[in-house]
Amino acid sequence: MRRSPAGSSAFDRASVLLGLASLVFAGFVFGAQLPTEFDFVHIGATGAVVLLVSGTLAIAGGATRRPALYAAAGVLLTVAALVQLAGLAASFRPLGGDASTMAVTGGLGLGLLMLARAVRSLIRTHDSDER
C-alpha cells in the first residue's frame, strides 16, 4: 500500500477532522435527552456504531497517512447512507433515526471518498513529475 506524498498532509488533517465529526455525530444517539435546539440529528444505535467505526477508520487513515483507510471509511458511510435511503423508502429504518441519519452518513462518506480521490490524484501527479 502506498503512503500519501508529503504534499497531502492537508488531506490527512481533513480526514482526521471528518473522522472526529463522525464521532461527534455518533453522540446524537443520546439526542432524546438534549434540549430541542440541539436535537437536529436523529441517530439510532446501529447508525451510531457505523459512525464510530468509520470515524475511527478515518482518524487512523489520516494519522498514519494511509488514504486507503479513509477511503474505506467513506465507502462504509456511503453504503450506510444508501441502505438508510432504501430503508426509508420501504418504511424501515435499518440505522435507526430518520433522513437526517442518511444525510449525515452520506455527507461524511462522500467527503472522505473525495479526499481519498484527491490524494490518489496527487500521488499520480507526484509520480509523473518524478519521471
pLDDT tens-place string over residues 69-89: 999 999 999 999 999 999 999
Positions of the chain with pLDDT lower than 70, given as ranges: 1-8, 31-39, 126-131
**Residue 67: per-residue pLDDT:** 92
**Residue 129: per-residue pLDDT:** 60
**Residue 48: per-residue pLDDT:** 94
Using CA atoms, how far apart are residues 48 and 62, in angstroms rounded to an integer?
A: 21
Which of 102, 50, 95, 54 has its CA nearest to residue 81? 102
**Residue 1: per-residue pLDDT:** 45
